[in-house]
Structure 1
Amino acid sequence: MDRVMKLASQKAVVIFSLSSCCMCHTIKRLFCELGVNPAVYELDEDPRGREMEKALVKLLGRNPSVPVVFIGGKLVGSTDRIMALHLGGKLTPLLREAGALWL
């Protein structure tokens, strides 16, 4: 848990992902198109990925559906939450507040 929280707080936007997941790819692409350069941790490629996945389960209280996104060191959620924020016009202000966007 400590490792996940430490990683989540080191950059304005942090994504825990699986390299083969199409929804992970979609969310990573969305952030890039918005001009955000997120830190991405591919759980299936990291030697401590299983450990991080278990920590995410504890944080979420359920099996995480990747991607799991942190903005400003705070857990935001998965694809459905990110898309809801984006479509509702609330993602960009959240990213600005976290220092991930300057405009």
Structure 2
Amino acid sequence: MFYVMKRLLVGIGANPMVYEVDGEEGEAVLADELAAMGDGGLPMQFPVVYVGGRMVGGLEKLMGVHISGELEGMLKDVGGL
């Protein structure tokens, strides 16, 4: 899934910054994100994409914002394109 997500972003002209997390580090990141979402947050899985510090989501959500035309606008707003 990571490869597909990265190829999509590179394909539209973005240069994604990639952070690889695993083991305890991954669990800590996940715990921080769940705490930030509060009780209404959905379970988070890796890989996940952030644009301008805002979590977009996993592959399905990334594809959804790309197909709807929102992704390029989001990237332009934060200087990613």
By the TM > 0.5 criterion, same fold? yes
Which runs of 5 or more residues in structure 1 are unaligned?
A: 1-22
Provide TM-score, normalisation by structure 1. 0.63
- Shift in Å, 1:95: 0.7
- Partner Cα distance (2:20, 2:43) in 1: 16
In the other structure, the counterpart of 1:50 is 27
Question: Structure with the greater relative contact order (CA < 8 A, sep ≥ 6): 1 or 2?
Answer: 1
In the other structure, the counterpart of 1:27 is 5
- Shift in Å, 1:54: 2.2
Q: Percent identity?
A: 35
Which runs of 5 or more residues in structure 2 are unaligned?
A: none
Name segments (4+ residues, structure 1) moved above 2 Å: 47-50, 56-63
Superposed CA deviations along residues 3-56 of structure 1, whole A, max 9, x for unmatched, are xxxxxxxxxxxxxxxxxxxx11110111111111111111128x7333213223
Aligned residues: 78
Superposed CA deviations along residues 48-74 of structure 1, whole A, max 9, x for unmatched, are 333213223334534422221111111
In the other structure, the counterpart of 2:78 is 98
Structure with the bigger percentage of helix: 2
Q: Is the 8 A contact 1:31 1:37 kept in 2?
A: yes
Alignment of 1:1-103 (within 5 A): 23-44=1-22, 48-60=25-37, 61-101=41-81
